[in-house]
A and B are shown apart, each in its own frame.
Chain A
């Protein structure tokens, strides 16, 4: 019965949700629209603010800005527009706090696919596979176990965490560090050749 009165949020596009909010002024339309990208906004704010609570607050503040600005601006691509709005908000936060950092790309920032994954793909994949087996043995036990379970055996983060009895964040950390160490090791081996 209640489902009958529930708006069909999921079937609407961003632009349709935005239009409905503009027409009615009802917050659930905007809340649903923003909720689709709240994780991205939170992650992006975390990149700039380096604090989880600050990122959460910033994401909430961005939503509150949306309430008025979505009515004032002609928005064609909501997601791109939201990216700009959220980024400007975070930079403004840093500027107010006098903490603006040089947001240079971190050395392990993964813009390319082969950087983010085990360095076994590409033209020299067979050679990397060879070094991978060698370098994998040189990892710490936790890193080796997590990397093997995730990349070679296909388990999810959560499954590995449950199996090892460790927090999810710890497993992510093991895999991320193990992957970085593997990449460094393989590159060194290749250079030595």
Chain B
């Protein structure tokens, strides 16, 4: 056996001693080699000074560190090359796809740009002329729902009452749409023609109420949405005719009954509070409609359900309305419909 082979054999025996795979005969061989090898002798002495320690673990760590160090210089070249290839591939893919949008998107953007382009005489107005906005289809599920007989004026010039892209978005999560349905006009003149959006806009202007502008689903690019964030004009200011009409509309909307927390939060409150156990087993029974009067303190009173409900669900909903968020203004009668949470 050559000297190099003896050295390698000694190192192999030392590794096996550390891992515990040595028997007495092999250990004797290792010790004989250590008698002639100063490095091996010192190593064995050091290891036997601490026989109960887990030297294998430290050597494995050392091996990992060595391999990492050994690989690092060469692997860096490959990493840089791989990154360059990846970037080139990505750039090529983007170039093939192209920076533009689909033809439909491009057309829609052009139409939107034309629609929002201010006319020369109205450049200083906050809202673009809404008459140029495309109207939502009548059957759109996102359009605010109104009770029968509560129709919007078709050619209304009031931005807040004009249905359009911005009004098509539901105020809350999109799962539910609170319905503020009126009683017949002779009973409830104050809310007879107010759409839901106007009610929301009014609610946002109250400083203590949660704002719908925080809703992540709100379309902030809409001119309607922008107008809703504008502060109301001062009451003592001499207003132009259009603004006076708008102020009158706002004042009229102030009489629209609404929860102080806003419809979206109220709907969430109901959805969260109705326990699964109280839900009816009939899967087609998904909405609740009820009427109530806003009491002097803002609490709903005199609740009347349109449909017959299971007793436990009815009691649960009554408790929620009586103990839940308050409404305003007092004295108003409200038709309210909301969706039950999914089972």
* Chain A residues in the interface with B (C-beta under 8 A): 13-14, 26-28, 30-32, 34-48, 50, 52-53, 55-56, 59-60, 63-64, 79-80, 82-83, 86-87, 106, 109-113, 116-117, 150-151, 154-158, 161, 167-173, 176
Contacts and interface: CB of A to CB of B under 8 A. Distances in A.
B76 to A, nearest CB: 10
B307 interface: no
- The listed residue with most A CB atoms (<10 A of its CB), out of B32, B46, B47, is B46
B23 A44 contact: no
Contacts of B209: none
9 contacts: A28-B71, A31-B66, A31-B69, A43-B44, A43-B55, A46-B50, A82-B39, A86-B39, A154-B23
Contacts of B51: 169, 172-173, 176
Which 3 residue pairs across A and B have the least CB separation, nearest first? A31-B70, A43-B43, A47-B46
A170 B73 contact: no
A113 B72 CA distance: 43
Interface of B: 4, 7-8, 11, 14-15, 17-25, 27-28, 31-32, 34-35, 38-56, 58-59, 61-63, 65-67, 69-74
B34 A110 contact: yes
A120 to B, nearest CB: 11
Contacts of B53: 52, 169
B31 A110 contact: yes
Nearest to B4: A13
A83 B46 CA distance: 14
A21 B8 CA distance: 20
A183 B4 CA distance: 34
Given A30-B70, A47-B43, A83-B42, 12 more contacts: A46-B46, A46-B49, A46-B50, A47-B42, A52-B58, A55-B46, A56-B59, A59-B62, A82-B39, A150-B23, A156-B22, A157-B22
Nearest to B23: A156
Contacts of A34: 66
A47 B8 contact: no
A26 B71 CA distance: 9
A38 B55 CA distance: 12
A156 B21 contact: yes
A113 B52 CA distance: 22
A28 B72 CA distance: 9
Contacts, number: 165
Contacts of A30: 70
B72 A39 contact: no
A50 B49 contact: yes
B49 A106 contact: yes
A158 B21 contact: yes
A33 B257 CA distance: 85
A117 B74 contact: no
Given A28-B71, A156-B22, A39 B15 contact: yes
A38 B7 contact: no
B24 A110 contact: no
Nearest to A115: B31
A50 B46 CA distance: 8
B4 A168 contact: no
Residue of A14, A28, A47 most packed against chain B (CB within 10 A): A47
A44 B42 contact: yes
A78 B244 CA distance: 97
B41 A111 contact: yes
A44 B21 contact: no
Contact of B49 (A42, A47, A171): A47
Contacts of A14: 4
Contact of A38 (B23, B27, B49, B59): B59
B62 A38 contact: yes
Contacts of B43: 39-44, 46-47
Nearest to A36: B11
B44 A158 contact: no
A47 to B, nearest CB: 3
A53 B58 contact: yes
B52 A48 contact: no
Contacts of B73: 26-27
B263 to A, nearest CB: 64
B313 to A, nearest CB: 63
Contacts of A38: 59, 62-63, 66
Contacts of B38: 83
B20 A158 contact: yes
B55 A42 contact: yes
A43 B52 contact: no
